[in-house]
Structure 1
Amino acid sequence: MDPLEGEASSPIEYEPVSVKDVLVEMKDTAELLIDLSYSSVLHRSEALAEEVLRLEERMDVLEMRARMSLLMAARSPDDAEQLAPVLGIVTAADTISDAAGDISKIVLEEIGLPEAMRAALPDAVETLVRGVVDPGSGYAGRTLKDIDLESETGVRVIALRRGTEWLLNPGPETEIEADDVALLRGPDSEIPAVYRELTETAYEPPASAPQAIDDLGRAVDTIVHMKNLSELAVDLAYSSVLFDSEELAEEVRNLEVEVDALESRFEAWVLRAAADIDDPVSLRGLIHLGTSTEAISDAAVEISEGVLREIEAHPVVRMAVQESDEILTRVEIEPASALDGTAVTAGVPDADVTMSVIAVRRPDEGWILVADTDVTLRDGDVVIAKGTRTAAEQFEGLAG
């Protein structure tokens, strides 16, 4: 059987599974699909692109099971009204999956990417690689806690595939087994040694590219920013639903507007770059990339649609909220508040609160992704941060 033909080609039967659990897995799968698909393009990796298609098949199965479970759960008109937005979440997740598949096909079908693209990549883009665990690897048969890989090297195992089974967001007790397909993300300086230890083979980095064309460099910088904003939009959209937060849902809309504006600029840079390269057709893949990125941000708005329309959350969503230890919160910095003038370094605010700042929306600058740069908070900033419920309440108090 073709390695890319998996669960999606087999009959899918109804199973009495938790809708909440399926939705959580769809969320995790969607986020990994975005990450993998862009990495496959930015690093010109067919191996990563093929994993995207495998994961897309898994999403198709999850979508069908979620639809079956939702149909079984609707027993009254009130149920139907409350479940309709959840059905929208399922549809949006499938839209994200399809967009990720389209992005990966830029590499697999050689739609066209300029050779200078890699030279234009920002230094902040960490390397993501795929490796198969060798039976003789020092990591085989050990848990991630025992290996302590991230603390020692900064390299993270973001997912494992064991045959057709995916282990998303592996935790400290997850054990790496021989023949697992591991997806690793980390700094260029550490990837080669970890890859060799994992696979017993040498890591071969992408070949160096010629000097980037200025306009092409601007286009790539823009598409990376669009990608990061779209990922944030998806994260905020799910959180707006789980915590029934109209404020977070409104920020999803703001992000979608920003991505639309960036797409216009991106297209302009690509068209200008076409005048400076020998083969303008090679830019076709970049246009596809912009279209798919915009589709992902549109899907994020669809996820939060029920919150924006003030439709009461179904009990299955409230159950997910009750089991969530970590939440996203949105605060606006008031003048002379405790957070006004606070420095944020690598996402950590210089304040007596255990919150991680993800992004800042500044009236005169737009969105600032804190992972890309340090920032000093000031009045008028809208801050998106992640942490425990208790920490979030403290953070909100410091902002006002």
Structure 2
Amino acid sequence: MHRDEPVEYEPVSVKAVLAEMKDTAELLIDLSFSAVLHGSPDLAAEVLALESRMDVLQLQARMSVMMAARSPEDVEELAPVLGMVGAAEKISDAAGDIAKIVLEEVGLPEAMRAALPEAVETLVRVPVADDSPYVGRTLGGINMETETGVRVIAVRRDQATGKARWITNPDRSTDLRAGDTLILRGFEEGLREVYEAAGGEPYEAPAAPDPAVDDLERAVNSIVLMKNMSELAVDLAYGAVLFDSRGVAEEVSELEAEVDALKSRFEAWTLRAAARVDDPVSLRGLVHLASATEVISDAALEIGEGVLRGLDTHPVVAEAVEESDEVIVRVVVADGAELAGATLGDRAVKTETGMRVIAIRRGGSSDGNGNGDADADAGGDPGEDGDGEWVVSPGAATRLREGDVLIAKGTRAGAERLSALAGAPEAFDRG
């Protein structure tokens, strides 16, 4: 929307608005960084369109929360809800600032695109052509994710009124229409097939230049690490709220501090690099990118602040996180389960289930909320981790044990598959 477009109060479900805000915020992070890494004005334009939608959502959410508060007790319960609304808005604004680096040609070294890893999932935007074989079919009927590994994470649909409607949580029943704009996530091989089927034109992957060296390369690598840590912090923050876990919330606080430290090192490397590049102004975009990324990690801390301060999670918040596009689940590894004693890589958990394990609490000495020791291994195989400790962002070499509690993110169908591997199909829940 335009900033001067009026927004009037209307009865809306706070739960539905919060769920859409969560989905939109996470999509904005993905789209904005993809726009930068691919140098794509099209993706950047989609970010600004979604940012405008977020403006409407946050106003609707604030008005609904104010209407619901009728006593001091209500105010205390609803305060964390407003914190989540404000945090999602901050993420939206930060994503918009990242997109403008591309749209306004602020300046970004070619080395930024060289930081795009080859074997990671990519986001691509494609309009659906009139003669696409997908037109008139549902996502369930197309069976795209199973056959190609590519997932439609959002659909923008232009309406007769001239306004666009975003579907941020498309499911099996979502039908595709000519003129829809699809946001796809997947690996290059599958993306080529889906892109051509949807848009009628071959997909051309952006060519990455040779990586930079010395201080500039270190600065770029710091940005990528900050981005990964900020995304993880947002995921963990929603998990902390969903499971009312102080232990997870403390990990978010640690990640936010790490991002701050990385930004300080980034600034030093960028200043050194400025003296050794032909055009120091070309580094301006990196500075903007680092600042926006830090804002995202700060917003993650705000999401989990209510848990850290001992405020009970309002039921509507937990329900909104549960009903969002990508669910966050808690799965306990049962005795004798297929995952017990195996590494995440051994069982190819992400490939086999589609779920990403974002944190593990070692089984044992912690309370029911997962409030064990806050120390965590940042990745790899934790080896001698003690009971109750958190392993944040576990890697393929991380070995699972009976009694471990997994915090994972993905689709509902994937959650069921992960739970089956953990030994009890009914063992995933929200707390």
TM-score (norm 1): 0.84
Structure 2 residue aligned with 1:377, among 384, 388, 399? 399
Structure 1 residue aligned with 2:77, among 78, 82, 85? 82
* Offset of residue 122 of structure 1: 2.2
The 1:217/1:323 distance shift into structure 2, 3 A limit, reads closer
* Offset of residue 373 of structure 1: 4.6
In structure 2, what is the equivalent of residue 160 of structure 1?
A: 155
- Structure 2 distance, partners of 1:322, 1:130, is 27
Contact 1:359 1:385 (8 Å CA) reproduced: yes
Correspondence list, 1:41-120, <5 A: 41-120=36-115
* Offset of residue 349 of structure 1: 5.9
The 1:331/1:363 distance shift into structure 2, 3 A limit, reads farther
CA offsets, 1:287-342, max 9 Å, x none?
Answer: 1111111110111111111111111233433554787995444999xxxxx98863
Over the matched positions of the two proteins, sequence identity in percent amounts to 59
- Structure 2 distance, partners of 1:393, 1:237, is 27
Structure 2 residue aligned with 1:16, among 11, 20, 39? 11
The 1:277/1:180 distance shift into structure 2, 3 A limit, reads same
* Offset of residue 34 of structure 1: 0.4
Q: 8-17 or 43-52, which moves further after superposition?
A: 8-17
Q: Aligned partner of 1:357: which letter?
A: V
- CA RMSD across the alignment: 3.5
Contact 1:121 1:220 (8 Å CA) reproduced: no
The 1:130/1:318 distance shift into structure 2, 3 A limit, reads closer
In structure 2, what is the equivalent of residue 357 of structure 1?
A: 357
Q: 306-315 or 10-19, which moves further after superposition?
A: 306-315
CA offsets, 1:341-386, max 9 Å, x none?
Answer: 6311188569xx998522469968535699895113389x996445
- Structure 2 distance, partners of 1:75, 1:143, is 44
* Offset of residue 190 of structure 1: 3.2
Contact 1:8 1:58 (8 Å CA) reproduced: no
Q: Matched residue of 1:175: which SS?
A: coil
In structure 2, what is the equivalent of residue 205 of structure 1?
A: 205
Correspondence list, 1:156-195, <5 A: 156-163=151-158, 164-195=164-195
Gaps of 5+ in 1: 1-5, 333-337
CA offsets, 1:190-243, max 9 Å, x none?
Answer: 323322221122333334524433433333333222212211211221222233
* Offset of residue 267 of structure 1: 2.7
Correspondence list, 1:1-400, <5 A: 6=1, 9-163=4-158, 164-317=164-317, 319-320=319-320, 327-329=328-330, 342-345=342-345, 348=348, 357-359=357-359, 366-367=378-379, 373-377=395-399, 384-386=407-409, 387=415
Contact 1:149 1:156 (8 Å CA) reproduced: yes
Q: Matched residue of 2:188: which SS?
A: coil
TM-score (norm 2): 0.79
Contact 1:37 1:52 (8 Å CA) reproduced: yes
Contact 1:347 1:371 (8 Å CA) reproduced: no
- Structure 1 distance, partners of 2:307, 2:16, is 20
- Structure 1 distance, partners of 2:96, 2:227, is 15
CA offsets, 1:47-92, max 9 Å, x none?
Answer: 0000000000000000000011001000111101111121111111
Q: Matched residue of 1:23: which SS?
A: helix
The 1:241/1:137 distance shift into structure 2, 3 A limit, reads same
Q: 130-139 or 266-275, which moves further after superposition?
A: 266-275
Q: Matched residue of 2:129: which SS?
A: coil
The 1:175/1:9 distance shift into structure 2, 3 A limit, reads farther
- Structure 2 distance, partners of 1:211, 1:246, is 41
- Structure 1 distance, partners of 2:256, 2:393, is 19
CA offsets, 1:167-203, max 9 Å, x none?
Answer: 1131122111110011112222332332222112233
Q: Matched residue of 1:345: which SS?
A: coil
Q: How many aligned residue pairs are there?
A: 384
Q: Matched residue of 2:92: which SS?
A: helix
- Structure 2 distance, partners of 1:320, 1:307, is 16
Q: 223-232 or 27-36, which moves further after superposition?
A: 223-232
The 1:43/1:73 distance shift into structure 2, 3 A limit, reads same
Q: 353-362 or 156-165, which moves further after superposition?
A: 353-362
Contact 1:256 1:301 (8 Å CA) reproduced: yes
* Offset of residue 286 of structure 1: 0.8
The 1:371/1:250 distance shift into structure 2, 3 A limit, reads closer
- Structure 1 distance, partners of 2:354, 2:49, is 37
Q: Matched residue of 2:344: which SS?
A: strand
Contact 2:377 2:392 (8 Å CA) reproduced: no
Q: 226-235 or 260-269, which moves further after superposition?
A: 260-269
Contact 1:237 1:300 (8 Å CA) reproduced: yes
The 1:80/1:35 distance shift into structure 2, 3 A limit, reads same
Q: Aligned partner of 1:366: which letter?
A: A
Gaps of 5+ in 2: 159-163, 362-373, 381-390, 410-414
In structure 2, what is the equivalent of residue 3 of structure 1?
A: none
The 1:265/1:359 distance shift into structure 2, 3 A limit, reads farther
Q: Aligned partner of 2:194: which letter?
A: V
Q: 278-287 or 203-212, which moves further after superposition?
A: 203-212
Q: 276-285 or 55-64, which moves further after superposition?
A: 276-285
* Offset of residue 394 of structure 1: 6.7
- Structure 2 distance, partners of 1:197, 1:79, is 51
